């Protein structure tokens, strides 16, 4: 089975704080963020709204892209998000469920 690697951007409900991450299971990872199952930055700053993600099949390119986005100016990240999600909707509802949430 081929893995899908995702680079994603989360924000707070006020859209002030941005977090860039990478995962091989985006629905599961977002579930973890929303339910505060992982200690750290996203839990501390209540960052759990998925506003951007890109998928790929290669882990090294996903990790490279994550590092690239983390170095970007905030303004560039905002432009990236607004190109594909101008209303800053929570995209987690559009993800295919991986069995990590109850029906």
Q: Which of 85, 29, 75 is nearest to 52 (CA)?
A: 85
- Using the predicted structure, report yes or no on whether residue 84 has a pLDDT greater than 50: yes
User: What b/e readout covers 46-76, taking b as 16+ CB neighbours within 10 angstroms?
Assistant: ebbbbbbbeebeeeeebeebbeebeeeeeee
Which pLDDT score is estimated for 46? 95
pTM of the complete model: 0.89
Which CATH superfamily hosts domain 5-94?
A: GIY-YIG endonuclease (3.40.1440.10)
For the stretch 18-39, pLDDT in tens is 999 999 999 999 999 999 998 8
Chain segment 31-79, per-residue pLDDT in tens = 999 999 988 999 999 999 999 999 988 999 999 999 999 999 999 999 9
Question: Looking at per-residue confidence, does 101 or 30 come out higher?
Answer: 30
Secondary structure (3-state) at 63: helix
């Amino acid at each position: 089975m081929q893995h899908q690697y995702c680079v994603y951007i989360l924000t707070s409900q006020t859209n002030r704080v941005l977090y860039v991450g990478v995962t091989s299971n985006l629905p599961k990872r977002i579930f973890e963020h929303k339910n505060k199952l992982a200690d750290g930055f996203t839990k501390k700053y209540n960052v759990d709204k998925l506003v951007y993600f890109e998928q790929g099949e290669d882990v090294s390119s996903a990790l490279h892209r994550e590092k690239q986005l983390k170095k970007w100016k905030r303004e560039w990240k905002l432009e990236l998000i607004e190109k594909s999600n101008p209303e800053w909707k929570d995209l987690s509802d559009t993800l295919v469920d991986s069995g990590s949430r109850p029906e």
